[in-house]
Amino acid sequence: MVIVMHSDASEDHLRTVVERVESLGLAAHVSRGTERTVIRVIGDERFVDHQTFEALDGVERVVPILHRFRLASRDLHPQDRVIELPGGILLGSKDVVMMAGPCAVESREQLQEAAGAVHAAGVKVLRAGAFKPRSSPYSFQGLGQKGLLMLREVADELGMSVITEVLTPEDVPEVAEHAEMLQIGTRNMANFRLLRAVGKATKPVLVKRGWGATLDELLLAAEYVLAEGNEQVAVCERGIRTFETSTRFTVDINAIPALKQISSLPVVVDPSHGTGRADLVAPVARAGVAAGADGLLVEVHPNPPEALSDGAQALTPMGFAKLMEEVRRVAGAVGRGVS
Amino acid sequence: MVIVMHSDASEDHLRTVVERVESLGLAAHVSRGTERTVIRVIGDERFVDHQTFEALDGVERVVPILHRFRLASRDLHPQDRVIELPGGILLGSKDVVMMAGPCAVESREQLQEAAGAVHAAGVKVLRAGAFKPRSSPYSFQGLGQKGLLMLREVADELGMSVITEVLTPEDVPEVAEHAEMLQIGTRNMANFRLLRAVGKATKPVLVKRGWGATLDELLLAAEYVLAEGNEQVAVCERGIRTFETSTRFTVDINAIPALKQISSLPVVVDPSHGTGRADLVAPVARAGVAAGADGLLVEVHPNPPEALSDGAQALTPMGFAKLMEEVRRVAGAVGRGVS
Amino acid sequence: MVIVMHSDASEDHLRTVVERVESLGLAAHVSRGTERTVIRVIGDERFVDHQTFEALDGVERVVPILHRFRLASRDLHPQDRVIELPGGILLGSKDVVMMAGPCAVESREQLQEAAGAVHAAGVKVLRAGAFKPRSSPYSFQGLGQKGLLMLREVADELGMSVITEVLTPEDVPEVAEHAEMLQIGTRNMANFRLLRAVGKATKPVLVKRGWGATLDELLLAAEYVLAEGNEQVAVCERGIRTFETSTRFTVDINAIPALKQISSLPVVVDPSHGTGRADLVAPVARAGVAAGADGLLVEVHPNPPEALSDGAQALTPMGFAKLMEEVRRVAGAVGRGVS
Amino acid sequence: MVIVMHSDASEDHLRTVVERVESLGLAAHVSRGTERTVIRVIGDERFVDHQTFEALDGVERVVPILHRFRLASRDLHPQDRVIELPGGILLGSKDVVMMAGPCAVESREQLQEAAGAVHAAGVKVLRAGAFKPRSSPYSFQGLGQKGLLMLREVADELGMSVITEVLTPEDVPEVAEHAEMLQIGTRNMANFRLLRAVGKATKPVLVKRGWGATLDELLLAAEYVLAEGNEQVAVCERGIRTFETSTRFTVDINAIPALKQISSLPVVVDPSHGTGRADLVAPVARAGVAAGADGLLVEVHPNPPEALSDGAQALTPMGFAKLMEEVRRVAGAVGRGVS
């Protein structure tokens, strides 16, 4: 942490800041310059609130030096973290892991058709929502527990793993019983009670980036899970909110290599939510793989216009089969396989 | 809802769209233009997913005509909604309602000092957090239940009402027992389970805007509460996330009159979180009142550098007393009082 | 400037950075911490490109300590800068200065009517565009030179000053001949050739913030003008681009006190462009004054639906008269007058 | 265009709107619904200002149906536009076109070294700036005319084409004389005088997206050039400004396929400015190609820490040679070559 003093700060102001630093068990290096005096704080700043200094008289601003996450960082954990799913699927390793399926479980038929299609295209991880967070109370909210059981059964019929969203701490045990991987949705990235709850589960967790969250905040959300002892965490870029309105969200492609540089967690991309438009899913999926993503989360529906949610971004089974071919070629070009 | 067809859409495409509209019990007005055919859908579009049309072949895009909220709208409820708190405090009426206190309950002494100061300045509603959502798992997370009881006792000593945040559905009954008003924080604006839970409580609710949420999404969050039967809902502008980094967030001042135009819910402004800087709180508080806010939420700490959270944005008791004077004058200039 | 070394940077990396700092005539204070070594660079960093260090091996990042503007800063120029216009109008002093008129000069009649209305309401500075930058080549582009002369004549008839936009360096002499104040529009804030050209003019300049520009960039744009020797510069907050779509732009109300803290330049607010909606202009104008703005720029048209540009945000003469009353009351509440 | 009336609009309001539509030579289809009356306007709305209706009493809002650009649209020009550069280079055709070189011309030696390196890697189009727009007046502003001549000479020695930025209308003839392609920088995307000037030149033009501009605005900027008769226009995604601060800008990867869907202009990506970090350039370059970009603009410097501008994002010659290999493989995977 570096504390910058105001140009007109007095020696008394400076002394008070140094004393405050020292009272917290940290050391202070004072550097006087031509226009500003700067204090470098020595010690683990992750456990010190920088606002405690900003509120002192004479302080202009405080600049953090370290990221606030530790367990999620590459500093502390240099080698890539790998998550193992049944069937030898390794997320964060050489192969790009495909996770696909409908936005929501709507019926056994719809789910079987969608799951059958993605399975036929080579996918081993089935995604679908039983508990759906929806902006409007008047929208379809998912089949709930019934959907969860259906999801389990259909996945079992095909020998697939399940990734599905969990919405609230009290649902964690049940969802963890029926799914191989728990998903924290974009709206819940900063639901810290929920993060702690999945941190106590024994299943891997995928934390989706809040659409208004920075990369540091995303990794701090992952840190909540890691800090509870669950080391099987991956993060997902799913589009952020910007001023551009021709797509629902803007996929932050820079985030993929940027995350991998500061963190050893696997990084997944969701081109379906990240664009909101079926016609853009394939090119953005290819881009994600080319940029280094470890996995893709893609929505597929047997009949998109009949979808009860997010039909505009769902691929048809045929569209998805084509995407798989394209993703395989791009993965090959960056020295990876697809599983 | 208006459906715009592609320039190269066929008559078959058009027919399919019209049939789909009619199969949902709605009517379709087809308007053929020089370059695009447009279908106006007649009926209550709030209950129809526009993506169901976007996914059809030949459709270029779908434009909603109505806001998706109903109970929160001024259309359905033209007169201003007013929330009554003990002591004759009316939020959403002539007086601007002040809610002030520390970011977090830290100790009985700290709370008594802060509460005493804001009470002396004329404030009747005490704000403070017992359950604190924090970006880092290593930050102070609040005193929890113990803090909640302390908050109740200190407020009772001074005859004040309490507004405090609730983080998860299971905590709602307890918080509702000890507080006059429940706060949904910015990170939980889209935690729909929590919104439903406070919708079942009998206490008024303040929904803070998610820092990445549009006004429509904020009002849909309020709609979740209203739809459960709780009519005592207010919304709060607390700063949105933009590219500007000299302040922590950007207060969307336009939102105040814009919300009041489309909704009859009371609108509160939080200049403390909205700026993140104590030196900007007073000017932005004045601006909020000048723009038509019905209430202000302000952080005050007896000794900001000692604060366990958000010290940089907390006013001292003296700074707050000055702000109250200024707010009174501006409120007077727009024909309002302060309570 | 503070240079943060990577956790795995070597002594050689460090030595190279220090040598580079010293080769630029600056001094380096090295501070070794528990996890990172940090180098504080002593000297005027405004003239050193921080990227020169970021590109060195072993450097994690470079944190600027000083703002890059000097002449525009309050550090160098602590007292408020005041711009004098004819008739004793002082921008940046006690009175809030009103500048109002139509978006564009459309005809002598339209201009006379609009100017007459704002003059009758007490305005001394007439705003109107002769050269109009428009997003579409098919929109009305202004009357050009003819409009400029008309503007001068109508202002002279009423004894008003003129503020109008200049689009390109070669037009500066002519516009400076006919206007009392030159406006740099939001799209040209980073047109540095144009900024230099108005820096050489002898007329005051209003630099509008680029809708995607930070406060630092806005003040650097002002610095271009100041650096050419023109000390009569004011800046204008006119709304930034955010994800919110219910208003055309989002007025950054925080910017007003934030600018005044780091700079001594007068700050103007444009609630017309900042909202894009006539019904929001008055509340946001009041907010701007309450937050400390030194001036307001407001669009008024005798008949908004007939306006050739920006009709949706223009006030009628009657709406503007009402706004003037409201602004006077709010200005009074913050200890200011209106002129 | 669709005009939505307020819920409480009267028959008189409606009649006035219809009359206004008809007075502009357009037709009006009135559709009365359960909650709103909607008027569909028939005719070419590109030449009608939608604000003219928004300003009428009783109008809630106006929704455009068509994009405002014509010549840049795929509607009007379905087949891909291709730009031909010397040596059989085709931008917008099968091969991805590489344009690389230093940010700025700094000296003959530096330029020769950079150009030699990119040429050796297979690049035929040399990029470098002679006229540099810089945020601070105290930064290096480019060598100007001298740099332009140097650029021409070095390109000629190697048989390369030149793309370089032009800053102001009066420089267009000279830059057009010495360069094969004119670049409009991000800060000048809405400098309409400059766009018209390059529209009159006979050289191809690359319009870079303003970092705060929507895709529609970018294509309207291209429309300015096309409308002057210059049909050789390409557009460039170079990163937009968002709340994320770990990279200088956020590359909008969605924009690549989104632009190609609505426009037939070639699309180029600039991963150097789009990330601001040398370590992210290669992955984002690969992503751009995978998403369908027709060209890449990459900064290369013989010694990045010595660069007078943008050193942090420049690749070394060795780094660039590696990028070229990677780009070739990804281009192959999407059925394209590299030239």
Residue-wise pLDDT tens digits, D73-82: 999 999 999 9
Asked if the Cβ–Cβ distance from D52 to C307 is below 8 Å, we say yes
Q: According to the model, what pLDDT value does residue B179 have?
A: 98
C264 Cβ neighbours under 8 A, 6+ residues apart:
C72, C73, C74, C77, C78, C79, C80, C81
Burial of residue D243 (CB within 10 Å: 0-12, 13-18, 19+) is buried
Residue D34 has pLDDT above 90, yes or no: no
Asked if the Cβ–Cβ distance from D34 to B42 is below 8 Å, we say yes
Name which of C251, C258, C283 is nearest B246 (Cβ-Cβ).
Answer: C258
Asked if the Cβ–Cβ distance from B40 to D34 is below 8 Å, we say no
Mean pLDDT of B170-199: 97
Q: According to the model, what pLDDT value does residue B13 have?
A: 96
Asked if the Cβ–Cβ distance from D33 to B40 is below 8 Å, we say yes
Best mutation target among B74, B252, B254, B322 (most C Cβ atoms within 10 Å) is: B254
Quick: pLDDT tens for D125-160.
999 999 999 999 999 899 999 999 999 999 999 999
Beta strands in chain C (DSSP E): 2-5, 27-32, 37-42, 59-63, 83-85, 89-91, 97-101, 125-127, 161-165, 181-184, 205-208, 233-237, 267-269, 295-299
D43 confidence band (pLDDT: 50, 70, 90):
confident
Name which of D243, D255, D286 is nearest A290 (Cβ-Cβ).
Answer: D286
Quick: pLDDT tens for B136-157.
999 989 999 999 999 999 999 9
Instruction: Tell me the C-alpha distance between B156 and B151, whole Å.
Output: 8
Q: Which residue of D has its CA nearest to B46?
A: D35
Q: Give chain D positions within 8 Å (CB) of A257.
A: 279-280, 283-284
A278 confidence band (pLDDT: 50, 70, 90):
very high
Q: Is B78 left (phi over 0), alpha (psi -120 to 50) or beta?
A: alpha
D50 confidence band (pLDDT: 50, 70, 90):
confident
Task: Read off the DSSP letter of residue B203.
Answer: S
Asked if the Cβ–Cβ distance from C40 to A34 is below 8 Å, we say no
Instruction: Tell me the C-alpha distance between B77 and B262, whole Å.
Output: 10
Mean pLDDT of A312-328: 97
Q: According to the model, what pLDDT value does residue B102 have?
A: 97
Chains in contact with A, where contact means 3 or more Cβ–Cβ distances below 8 Å, are: B, C, D
Residue B44 has pLDDT above 90, yes or no: no
Asked if the Cβ–Cβ distance from D287 to A283 is below 8 Å, we say no
- The tens-digit pLDDT sequence of chain C (339 residues) is 999 999 999 999 999 999 999 999 999 999 998 889 999 999 888 888 888 899 999 999 999 888 999 999 999 999 999 999 999 999 999 999 999 999 999 999 999 999 999 999 999 999 999 999 999 999 999 999 999 999 999 999 999 999 999 999 999 999 999 999 999 999 999 999 999 999 999 999 999 999 999 999 999 999 999 999 999 999 999 999 999 999 999 999 999 999 999 999 999 999 999 999 999 999 999 999 999 999 999 999 999 999 998 889 999 999 999 999 999 999 999 999 999
Q: Give chain D positions within 8 Å (CB) of B4.
A: 65
Name which of B55, B135, B190 is nearest A220 (Cβ-Cβ).
Answer: B135
The ipTM is 0.96
Name which of D49, D168, D212 is nearest C169 (Cβ-Cβ).
Answer: D168
Residue type, C110: Q
Best mutation target among C24, C35, C263 (most A Cβ atoms within 10 Å) is: C35
Q: Which residue of C has its CA nearest to D67?
A: C136
A34 confidence band (pLDDT: 50, 70, 90):
confident
pTM for the complete prediction? Answer: 0.97
Asked if the Cβ–Cβ distance from D227 to C137 is below 8 Å, we say yes
Asked if the Cβ–Cβ distance from D283 to A257 is below 8 Å, we say yes
Chain C interface, Cβ < 8 Å to B? 212, 214-216, 240, 242-247, 250-258, 261, 274-275, 277, 279-280, 283-284, 286-292, 326, 329-330, 332-334
Q: According to the model, what pLDDT value does residue C34 have?
A: 86
Asked if the Cβ–Cβ distance from C38 to A38 is below 8 Å, we say no
- By the 8 A CB rule, do B88 and B180 touch? no
- By the 8 A CB rule, do B67 and B49 touch? no
Instruction: Tell me the C-alpha distance between D273 and D129, whole Å.
Output: 13
Asked if the Cβ–Cβ distance from C63 to A35 is below 8 Å, we say no
Residue A113 has pLDDT above 90, yes or no: yes
Asked if the Cβ–Cβ distance from D55 to C312 is below 8 Å, we say yes
Name which of A55, A241, A311 is nearest B314 (Cβ-Cβ).
Answer: A55
Strand partners, A27: A42
Query: What sign results for the dihedral spanned by CA atoms D51, D56, D57, D63?
Result: negative
D109 Cβ neighbours under 8 A, 6+ residues apart:
none
Asked if the Cβ–Cβ distance from D306 to C52 is below 8 Å, we say yes
Minimal Cα–Cα distance from A284 to chain D, Å?
Answer: 6
Name which of D167, D187, D311 is nearest C52 (Cβ-Cβ).
Answer: D311
Joined tokens for residue B17: 């769209």
Minimal Cα–Cα distance from A53 to chain C, Å?
Answer: 16
Best mutation target among B8, B18, B39, B42 (most D Cβ atoms within 10 Å) is: B42
Quick: pLDDT tens for B206-233.
999 999 999 999 999 999 999 999 999 9
Chains in contact with C, where contact means 3 or more Cβ–Cβ distances below 8 Å, are: A, B, D
Q: Give chain C positions within 8 Å (CB) of A7.
A: 75
Asked if the Cβ–Cβ distance from A140 to B241 is below 8 Å, we say no
Q: According to the model, what pLDDT value does residue C73 have?
A: 96
Instruction: Tell me the C-alpha distance between B140 and B188, whole Å.
Output: 19
First to last CA, chain A: 43
B318 Cβ neighbours under 8 A, 6+ residues apart:
none
DSSP assignment of D129-168 equals: BSS---SSTTS----THHHHHHHHHHHHHHT-EEEEE--S
Chain A interface, Cβ < 8 Å to C? 2, 4, 7, 29, 31, 33-36, 38, 40, 42-44, 63, 65-66, 75, 241-243, 245
Q: For chain B, what percent of residues have pLDDT higher than 90? A: 91
Minimal Cα–Cα distance from C308 to chain A, Å?
Answer: 26
Best mutation target among D54, D57, D195, D215 (most C Cβ atoms within 10 Å) is: D54
Give, for B328, the enclosing helix (H) or strand (E): helix B317-333
Quick: pLDDT tens for D193-237.
999 999 999 999 999 999 999 999 999 999 999 999 999 999 999
Name which of B43, B44, B65 is nearest D4 (Cβ-Cβ).
Answer: B65
B160 confidence band (pLDDT: 50, 70, 90):
very high
Mean pLDDT of B240-266: 98
Q: Give chain B positions within 8 Å (CB) of C69.
A: none
Quick: pLDDT tens for B275-315.
999 999 999 999 999 999 999 999 999 999 999 988 899 99
Q: Which residue of C has its CA nearest to B214?
A: C244
- By the 8 A CB rule, do B271 and B291 touch? no
Q: Which residue of A has its CA nearest to D288?
A: A287
A299 Cβ neighbours under 8 A, 6+ residues apart:
A100, A101, A102, A103, A127, A272, A273, A281, A310, A313, A314, A315
Minimal Cα–Cα distance from A276 to chain D, Å?
Answer: 10
Phi, psi angle pair for C164, to nearest 5°: -150, 155
Name which of A245, A247, A330 is nearest D290 (Cβ-Cβ).
Answer: A330
Quick: pLDDT tens for D264-277.
999 999 999 999 99
Task: Read off the DSSP letter of residue C327.
Answer: H
Phi, psi angle pair for B114, to nearest 5°: -65, -45
Name which of B56, B168, B210 is nearest A193 (Cβ-Cβ).
Answer: B168
Query: What sign results for the dihedral spanned by CA atoms B31, B34, B37, B40?
Result: negative
Instruction: Tell me the C-alpha distance between A148 and A156, whole Å.
Output: 12
Closest CA to B51 of A314, A115, A131: A314
Instruction: Tell me the C-alpha distance between C186 and C190, whole Å.
Output: 9
Asked if the Cβ–Cβ distance from D31 to B44 is below 8 Å, we say no
Instruction: Tell me the C-alpha distance between C267 and C190, whole Å.
Output: 18
B103 confidence band (pLDDT: 50, 70, 90):
very high
- By the 8 A CB rule, do C239 and B258 touch? no
Joined tokens for residue C34: 């528990």
Q: What is the mean pLDDT of chain C?
A: 96
Q: Which residue of D has its CA nearest to B8?
A: D75
- By the 8 A CB rule, do D329 and D297 touch? no
Q: Give chain B positions within 8 Å (CB) of A66.
A: none
More confident residue, D66 or C234: C234
Task: Read off the DSSP letter of residue A228.
Answer: T
Q: Give chain A positions within 8 Å (CB) of C75.
A: 7, 35
Instruction: Give helix D255-262 / helix D278-291 axis angle, nearest 10°.
Output: 40
Name which of C216, C286, C333 is nearest B329 (Cβ-Cβ).
Answer: C333
Q: According to the model, what pLDDT value does residue A50 have?
A: 84
Quick: pLDDT tens for A7-26.
999 999 999 999 999 999 99
